[in-house]
Each structure stands twice: as C-alpha cells, then as structure tokens.
Amino acid sequence: MPAEDRIGALAARWAAEGRTLHAIYDDATRPVGALGDDVPVATLATFTAGLAAGGDEDIPCTLVADVTVRATHQGQGLMRRLMDAAAHDAATPLMALHAAHPARYARFGFAPAIRSACVEVDCARFRLRDPAAGTVHEAGTHRADELARAVAMSSAVLRFGALTPALTGAESDDGARCLVHTDDRGVVDGVLTWAFLGWTPRAQVIEVRAESYATVDAHAALWQTLCSTGIASTIRAADSRLEDPVAWMIEDRAARRVTAVTDGYSLRVLDPARALAMRGYSCPDTSLVIEVADGTGAASGRWLLAVTRGRATVEPTARAADVRLGARELAALFLAGTRADALHAAGLLADGRDARILDDLLRWPVEARSGLHF
C-alpha cells in the first residue's frame, strides 16, 4: 500500500476512534537538513474506551497510545508535561496504556493491571474430547468489530478486563480473515480474526489477531475450526488467559503450550470513588473504609465502600480507615491481576491484614483479559 494511502487509512481509523494527538514542538534554530519545526519532538495520543469490570456498565477509560519523545529531546520533562496534561483533561476515572516497559510509566502512577499468556498450538494434536457445540461460520472482516462488540456485551463475567471495541482495526487488516460461532439458537457468541503468516523453515503459522467470546464452548469451537484449516501446522496467540479452560477440554494438553507470560495493559486511577463504585464484586456483602494516597494528590481520599449483591456504593467519610494503600497499588489490584499479599510481601502494602481484605474484596471468578491492543 502506498505511503499516502497508509496515512489516509490511519487518519480514518483515528477519526473513527476519536483519537486525539497531543504534541510538543521545538522552534529552535536548526541546521539545513534537520527535521523542521513542523515535526513534533514529543507525542501522546488519547481516546476513550469502556473497561469491563463486572459492573452494570463499562467504566469510561482514557487510553494512552503513540507515546514518543525524540532521542535528541530526552530528559527535558516533555513526557511529564504531556502525561500531566492528559490526566488533567481526562473526564474518566481511569487511564490505561500498553507499554513494552511498564516500569517507565510507574512515575506517572501507572501499574500493570493484567497478565497475558502467549500460546502456541500444535494443530495436528489439538482435538477436543467432546464434539464442539454450535456452528462456526466464515464472515467478512468488515463485520468483525460490530459482531465482537455484541458478543462482548453479552457476558459480564468472561469479558472482565476487556476494553471495547475489542477488534479495532480489523477492517483494514490486510490478509485477515474472520470466524464467527453461533450457538444452538443461532445467536452469535464468538468472533475470532486471524491471518496466515506463511511458511517458515520449521512451521506454517496462523496468528490469532483478536478474539471475543461469551461462552467457553464458543472459544473451544473457534480454535478447533482454526486448527482444522489444513494450511498451518502451528497457531500462535498473544492475548490468552493463563488459566484457559480449553487446555482441559482437549485430549492432549501438550498440544497447547504457553511460550511467554507478559504484562498486558497498565492502569492509572484518577478517581478511586467513581472507579470502585462502577466495578462489580463477587465477594459477600461487606462494608469498609478505604483510604487512598496519591503523590499528586489528585486521587487521594477516604471513602466508605459498601457492597451489596455484587454492587457498591462509595461515599466520602471521616471514619478511620480499615484499609490503606497507594493509588498505584490500587491500579495494580483493580482487576485482580495481582494479589495484594504479593504487594505486601514486596513491601508495597504495609499491613498484611489490609492485603487479605483487599484480596477478598477484589477477587473475580475468571482472569481479566484485554482483547484490545492500542
């Protein structure tokens, strides 16, 4: 695709997402041949998505992407200026970003919130113990985003941690193909996009680009179909759950191998009260006072959190705190991707009792899973 067409396609996708580019420019005198002052020296893009956290509606979340600082301008506080401005302008209780090196963003209050497994499947050995339920169909990728959104919204438990839209960019993904699963009533309950990467000296590889499913049966059937295409010996996916039930649904567990475990996206909590109130809970009914400390002061406060039948009310209070933690630690624990007792052992939570309370409060029946790379 010509460069002009690629830029046009990117601009169209950004417009559809509502993505805004924030940039800093340098108008200093420069030698002939250097990049002009119309080229930014630092950038950061933001757009909004919904984070599924088990509540009645998704939590609005500001996504941060396209973070760059030119090598010639490192160490001048440019990224701090952009991050502070983005946090100030955000009208959401949470921010999220994907980072190859999450530790670089700790100083801005971000903490890794979920873990993802990279998996590799041997097609010849992948066989379900029982016949797959429902029916798998091939679909056009232009429908993938729409179908995946409908699937995602139908399962509050399995979509925990998902950022919508789950399949952004599928329409313009050259060479991508799409599989759709329907249940016995004909309702779409699974969508998977994939691409054939071609032949390598050791394997013929299919890559899973994105997957959204409302039932484990749909998930299993989509993978069984993908393994049966006959064009590949290996399937790779980079956004799987560590504890995937499909591993126990196949005859040979060794057919599915975890090749790496990585951090998924990182979260920053801007408004703890609103975030906690919109989250769902699987713990018994409870009431406690949570105190959050934030170095910037923006997310600091003390609130009475009362959980009744999986839903919470959160109100400011002057009562003594039952649990104390930092805003970054809350970000790490928010989706139960990290256990509070691990943070206590690492010295990030002072009180072991606080850790036990937080683990009981924030647990969820399944691991959080992203589904969106941005």
CATH number at residue 317: 3.30.1050.10
In the predicted structure, residue 327 carries a pLDDT above the cut 80 = yes
Residue 373 within a domain: no
CA–CA gap between residue 87 and residue 297 (Å, rounded): 12
The CATH number of the domain holding residue 44 is: 3.40.630.30
- Check residue 167 and give its pLDDT: 39
Give the burial string for 115-150 (b: 16+ CB within 10 Å, else e).
Answer: bbbebbbbbeebebeeebbbebeebebebbbebbbe
Q: Chain-wide mean pLDDT for the chain? A: 89
- Give the domain extent around 220: 117-263
Among 85, 112, 139, give the residue marking a domain's end: 112
Residue 196 within a domain: yes
Residue 103 within a domain: yes
Q: Which of 281, 238, 297 is nearest to 119 (CA)?
A: 238
The residue-averaged pLDDT of 148-162 equals 75
Range in 101-105, 131-135, 163-167 with the lowest mean pLDDT = 163-167
CA–CA gap between residue 158 and residue 222 (Å, rounded): 16
In the predicted structure, residue 225 carries a pLDDT above the cut 60 = yes
Range in 101-110, 113-122, 179-188, 199-208 with the lowest mean pLDDT = 199-208
- Shared-domain flag, residues 154 and 239: yes
- Check residue 178 and give its pLDDT: 92
- Shared-domain flag, residues 148 and 270: no
- Confidence band for 150, pLDDT divided at 50, 70 and 90: confident
* φ, ψ for residue 142, nearest 5 deg: -65, -15
CA–CA gap between residue 98 and residue 342 (Å, rounded): 22
Q: Which of 236, 233, 235, 226 is nearest to 202 (CA)?
A: 233
- Check residue 371 and give its pLDDT: 67
- Confidence band for 3, pLDDT divided at 50, 70 and 90: low
The residue-averaged pLDDT of 240-263 equals 92
- Confidence band for 126, pLDDT divided at 50, 70 and 90: very high
pLDDT in tens, 158-198: 788 988 753 344 445 567 899 999 999 999 999 999 999 88
- Check residue 297 and give its pLDDT: 75
CA dihedral (356, 312, 306, 289) positive or negative: positive
In the predicted structure, residue 199 carries a pLDDT above the cut 60 = yes
| 3-class secondary-structure state, position 11 | helix
- Check residue 239 and give its pLDDT: 83
Among 75, 91, 112, give the residue marking a domain's end: 112
CA–CA gap between residue 45 and residue 246 (Å, rounded): 36
Number of folded domains that form the chain = 3
